[in-house]
Structure 1
Amino acid sequence: MGASDLLLVGLVMLLGLCGVLLPGVPGSWLVWAAVLWWALEDPRPVTWWVLVGATVVMLLSQAVRWALPSRRPRATDATRRTMAYGGAGAFLGFFLLPVAGAIPGFLAGVYLAERLRLGSHDAAAGSLRTTMRTGGSSVLAELFACLLIMGAWLGAVFWG
């Protein structure tokens, strides 16, 4: 697989990560489809192991999301900007503190967005709790699964 094809796969994955933050967009399935595309184009065994792992992670994340509250961040005054901050925080946290940093990064991003919007610590903390209870945890679970898949893909591309 050439460098331009790998770049396209990476761009589809980034589009999928952004899609996770927007209600109604099948972001996680875009990430999985990018891994499928890569595995079909690159016949090495590692690509198929990454695809199998991505499939398992996707199925587990769908089961976890089913058990969590539904995605209704609009009902809590959480804006798209809030979810964008949370997504950026999760992305940065995932790479700054490998894997585990995505969760505190997401929380910090949502808190920062709410702090900027509302102005006080108490209001931002309350809004963070409400956001996580009414759909933020579902978004975080799906985003974390997609980051795991993307991290496995990056690992296989660079070190596999």
Structure 2
Amino acid sequence: MSAWGEVLVGLAILVGLIGIVVPILPGVILIFAAILVWAILTGGTTAWAVFAICTTLLVISGVIKYTWPGAKLREAGVANRSLFLGAVLGIIGFFVVPIVGLFLGFVLGVYLSEFQRLRVQQPAWESTKHALKGVGLSMLIELLGALIATAVWASGAVVV
């Protein structure tokens, strides 16, 4: 693969990393696809080994992203229904108020659901804060896995 090709793959990975932090783009999918294209165009055992390692890292971080924060939220007593309503209002909010509406809708959805369930403002707000911490932890796990996969790819690109 040419140096320009690797720069384009690197830029696609960078856009994917940004997509993890700003959930507008499918970050992990972009990173996976960019490294797959690199492996196909580069060819050889090393390129495919790098791709396999990166894929494994992305899958493991994806599994941890959904299991660990979810367990913490269950321990904190946040209802799945509240998270679902938060996600629905977050999606609606994204289209009503671009970008920040996703965050605002999620917070509002979780809070309203928890307030309806608990009937008391303070515990509902505490549950909402736990949900936000869970989302933040989930994002950090995904970002860490993607950054390690990026480092593996960069190392492989230098070697190949």
* Interval containing the TM-score (normalised by the shorter chain): 0.5 to 0.7
Q: Which runs of 5+ in 2 are unaligned?
A: 71-82, 91-101, 109-128
Do structure 1's residue 2 and structure 2's residue 5 form an aligned pair? Answer: no
Structure 2 counterpart of 1:30, one-letter code:
L
Do structure 1's residue 26 and structure 2's residue 17 form an aligned pair? Answer: no
Identity of aligned residues (%): 28
For the 8 Å contact 2:107–2:132, the answer to whether it is kept is: no
- Which moves more between the two structures, 1-10 or 19-28? 19-28
> Per-residue CA shift, 1:34-63, capped at 9, x if unaligned?
100000001121110111111111111111
| C-alpha separation in 2, matches of 1:30 and 1:76 | 27
Structure 2 counterpart of 1:45, one-letter code:
T
Which structure's residues are more often helix, by fraction? 2
Runs of 4+ aligned residues of structure 1 deviating over 2 Å after TM superposition are 69-77, 129-132
| C-alpha separation in 1, matches of 2:65 and 2:24 | 14
| C-alpha separation in 2, matches of 1:134 and 1:45 | 39
RMSD over equivalenced CA pairs, Å: 2.4
Shift of 1:159: 3.0
Shift of 1:23: 2.2
| C-alpha separation in 2, matches of 1:134 and 1:23 | 15
Do structure 1's residue 16 and structure 2's residue 16 form an aligned pair? Answer: yes
Equivalences for residues 1-160 of structure 1 within 5 A: 1-67=1-67, 68-69=69-70, 74=103, 75=106, 133-160=133-160
| C-alpha separation in 1, matches of 2:132 and 2:151 | 24
Shift of 1:132: 6.3
- The DSSP-based 3-state class of the residue aligned with 2:22 is coil
| C-alpha separation in 2, matches of 1:132 and 1:141 | 14
| C-alpha separation in 2, matches of 1:159 and 1:41 | 15
